[in-house]
Structure 1
Amino acid sequence: MAEPRVPGGRGAELDLPCGESVHVHDLDMGMREYDCACGDSHAVVTDVHPPSRFVPEFLVSVLRETVDTADDMGEFGTTHVMGIVLEEFPEQVVSENVEDDQDVGYALVWMTDFDSRRLHEIVVELLVELMEHAVSHAENSDAMTQFEEDMLDFDVEAFVEQYRRERDFTGPNDTAR
C-alpha cells in the first residue's frame, strides 16, 4: 500500500524556491549540494551536519560559550545557524522536519536557492555580524574597535576558499550531534 505524503512525515517533499521539488529520500546525510532539474545546484544542510562545516571548531566552541540559546535545541549548532540564514533569506531557504521518517537519518533538512559555496559565504557573513553584535554589548570599547579593525582585513570569499580547500569533512568534529 502506498504511503500518503504528509508534511513532516514519511515521504515528505520539499518545494524548492526554483519551483522544483525534491523527495527527502533523495537526500542523504553526506549530501551538501543537490543538482536540481532546474539546472542549478542547491545547498543541502541537515541537522547532523556540524557547524564546523562552515567555520573552524575553535570558533564553534566560542559561539557555544557565548550564544545563549532560548530553545530546546541545546547548545548553539547547525540548527541555529540555519535559523539565522532562514530569517535573513526567507524566500530562498526551505526546510522540513522529518523526524518521524526513520529512513533518512536526520530530523531537519534545509535547502537553499543558492549553491553550497554561496551558502558558506552567507553563513560566515552572518556569523561575523552575530559576533560584531556580541562584541558591541561588551563593556570594553577597545574590544569593539579591535574587532572592527580586524574585520577590515577579513575577506569572506578568501576565507571560504581556503576553508573549503583545507577542511576535512571526515574528521572527529563531523560526527552527528
Structure 2
Amino acid sequence: MATPRVPGERDDDITLPCGESVSLGELDMGMREYACSCGERHAVVMDVHPPGRFVPEEIVAVLRETVETDDDHGEFGTTHLMGIVLEEFPDQVVAEDVSENGQVGYSLVWLTDFDSRRLHGIVVELIVELMEHAISHAEDDDAASSFEEQMLEFDVDAFVEAYRVERDFEDEYDRPA
C-alpha cells in the first residue's frame, strides 16, 4: 500500500551508485556531471539530451534508420543508448523515472559511477559494437570487410577527445555537430 504524503511533498533524492544521494533540485538540464560528496564526478544524462551529445548527427540519423525500437520512446535516441549502457553496467548506472515530478523538465535521468568523459567513451564503444553486429548480418561481404578495416583504424579515445572539443562540453549551450 502506498504511503500517504502531504500534497506537494516529494521524495526527490536519488541514491547514486557510490551510495551517496543527490536531490533532483541539484540536477539541471544543462548538467553533464555531478560533483559528488564522495569525491568523484558522476555523469548525468537526461532523456531530453540528444544522442548527438555522443556522436555526430549523421550517425544518429543512420542509427534511427536502421535500429527498430519496440517501446514507447519512439525512434532510437538517448533513452535507448542509456538502456544499452545500463544493460552493460547494471551496478554502475542508476536510472530514475521522474515523470511524475513536473518541476524538473525531464522524465528520465541516469547517473553513473564514472565521469562524463568515460561514459562518452563507453557509449561510442557500444555504438561501434551495435554497428559491427548490424554489418555482420549484411549480405554484402565487401561492406562488412570495409567496415572491419575502418574499425581497425578507429581510435575511440581520439574520437571522443576531438568530439568533446568540437562540441565544447564546458558550455551549457553546446550544439549538435
TM normalised by structure 2 equals: 0.91
Is the 8 Å Cα contact of residues 43 and 112 (structure 1) preserved in structure 2?
yes
1:122-170 CA distance string (max 9 Å, x none): 0000000000111111111111111110000000000000000011563
Deviation at 1:173, TM superposition (A): 4.4
Shifted more, 159-168 versus 77-86: the winner is 159-168
State the AA in 1 paired with 2:108: L
1:61 aligns with 2:61: yes
Change (3 A) 1:58 1:133: same
Aligned to 1:92: 92
Summarize deviations over 1:78-105 as a string: whole Å, max 9, x none: 0000000000000000010001111111
**1:11/1:101 contact within 8 Å kept:** no
Structure 1 residues 172 and 41: alpha-carbon distance in aligned structure 2, compared to 1, 3 A threshold: closer
The answer on whether the counterparts of 2:55 and 2:124 sit within 8 Å (CA) in structure 1 is: yes
SS in 1 for 2:114: coil
Alignment of 1:117-136 (within 5 A): 117-136=117-136
- Name the counterpart of 1:151: 151
CA drift at 1:3: 5.0
CA shift for structure 1 position 20: 0.3
Q: What secondary structure, in the 3-state scheme, does the structure 1 residue paired with 2:145 have?
A: helix
Q: Which amino acid aligns with 2:99?
A: E
State whether residues 34 and 42 of structure 1, in contact with CA within 8 Å, keep that contact through their aligned partners in structure 2.
yes
* Counterpart in the other structure of 1:19: 19
Question: 4+ residue stretches of structure 1 with deviation over 4 A?
Answer: 1-4, 171-174
Rounded to whole Å, the distance in 2 between the matches of 1:99 and 1:14 is 14
State the SS of the aligned residue for 1:162. Answer: helix
| Matching of residues 99-110 of structure 1 within 5 Å | 99-110=99-110
**Number of positions where the alignment pairs a residue of Structure 1 with one of Structure 2:** 169
Percentage identity across aligned positions?
68
Q: Provide the C-alpha distance between the structure 2 equivalents of 1:55 and 1:32, rounded to a whole number of angstroms.
A: 15
Q: Considering only aligned residues, what root-mean-square deviation do their CA atoms show, in Å?
A: 1.6
Deviates more, 1:162-171 or 1:60-69: 162-171
Shift of the 163–172 alpha-carbon distance from structure 1 to 2, 3 Å rule, reads closer
* Structure 1 residues 67 and 41: CA distance shift in structure 2, 3 A: same
Please state whether the residue corresponding to 2:135 is helix, strand or coil: helix
Cα distance in 2 for residues equivalent to 1:24 and 1:132: 37
Q: CA deviation at 1:12?
A: 2.2
- Stretches of structure 1 that go unaligned for 5 or more consecutive residues are 5-9
